[in-house]
């Protein structure tokens, strides 16, 4: 569970990142979940975007991905969401102390 200070730190890091995960008309499919899993394993912090023709909101997509991947939701603004999951073999992103 992330604290408010840690969440704010991750939001500041995500601000500089481009969205690499896109959820479109088909919704949250297995390939999208697999792509999110791979991106989280490589980066720890992933920014995604929900396309206009998607049936779900960004908050719904973030919640579903967090459940499917055991990740933490960092932020949702409009159609953009941010996910975080610490790597099991050692964190690349050092979080502030709780």
CATH number for the region 4-84 comes to 3.30.110.60
Per-residue pLDDT, 31: 96
**DSSP string over the chain:** ---HHHHHHHHHHHHTSPP-EEE-TT-S-HHHHHHHHHHHHHHSEEEEEE-TT-SS-HHHHHHHHHHHHT-EEEEEETTEEEEE---TT--SS-PPP-
Cα-based distances in Å from 66 to 18, 22, 32, 56: 20, 15, 13, 15
Confidence of residue 5 (pLDDT cuts 50, 70, 90): very high
Mean pLDDT in residue range 61-73:
97
Biggest distance spanned by C-alpha atoms of the chain: 40
Instruction: Express each pLDDT in 20-56 by its tens digit.
Output: 999 999 999 999 999 999 999 999 999 999 999 999 9
Mean pLDDT in residue range 5-19:
96
Average pLDDT for the chain? 95
69: its two tokens: 């991947």
Q: Does the reported pTM lie above 0.85? A: yes
Per-residue pLDDT, 91: 80
């Amino acid at each position: 569970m992330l604290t408010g200070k840690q969440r704010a730190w991750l939001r500041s890091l995500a601000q500089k990142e481009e969205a690499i995960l896109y959820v479109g008309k088909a919704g949250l499919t297995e390939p999208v979940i697999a792509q999110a899993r791979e991106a989280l394993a490589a980066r720890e912090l992933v920014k995604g975007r929900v396309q206009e023709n998607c049936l779900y909101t960004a908050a719904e997509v973030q919640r579903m991905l967090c459940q499917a991947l055991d990740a933490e939701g960092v932020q949702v603004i409009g159609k953009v969401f941010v996910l975080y999951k610490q790597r099991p073999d050692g964190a690349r992103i050092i979080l502030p102390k709780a």
